[in-house]
Amino acid sequence: MSIWRVLLSIIMPPLAVLDKGCGSIVIVFILTLLGWVPGVIAALIILNNPNR
């Protein structure tokens, strides 16, 4: 995970997970709408997962 991905996930979480699939984008987008912090946490978890 690069520093640019981390910064992008803090600034705009749905854009950080664009290459991880449609489901991840939708989940992060909904969590970001509910609150910025849950969206950032979800984006960082998805980006840190080596299986995806």
Q: Single out the residue of 3, 7, 5, 14 nearest to residue 36, CA to CA.
A: 14
Q: Does the pLDDT value for residue 51 go beyond 90? A: no
Share of the chain above pLDDT 90, in %: 83
Task: Give how many domains the chain has, as a whole number.
Answer: 1
Model confidence at 34, in pLDDT bands (50, 70, 90)? very high
For CA atoms 21, 49, 2, 4, the dihedral sign is: positive
Q: For residues 22-35, give the mean pLDDT.
A: 94
Average per-residue pLDDT in the chain?
A: 92
> What tokens were used for 44?
């960082």
Show the domain range for 19: 3-48
Q: Which amino acid would we find at residue 33? A: L
Q: Does the pLDDT value for residue 52 go beyond 80? A: no
Angle at the Cα of 23 (from 38 to 16), degrees rounded to 5?
55
Q: Global pTM?
A: 0.87
Largest CA distance in the chain: 26
Q: How many residues does the chain have?
A: 52
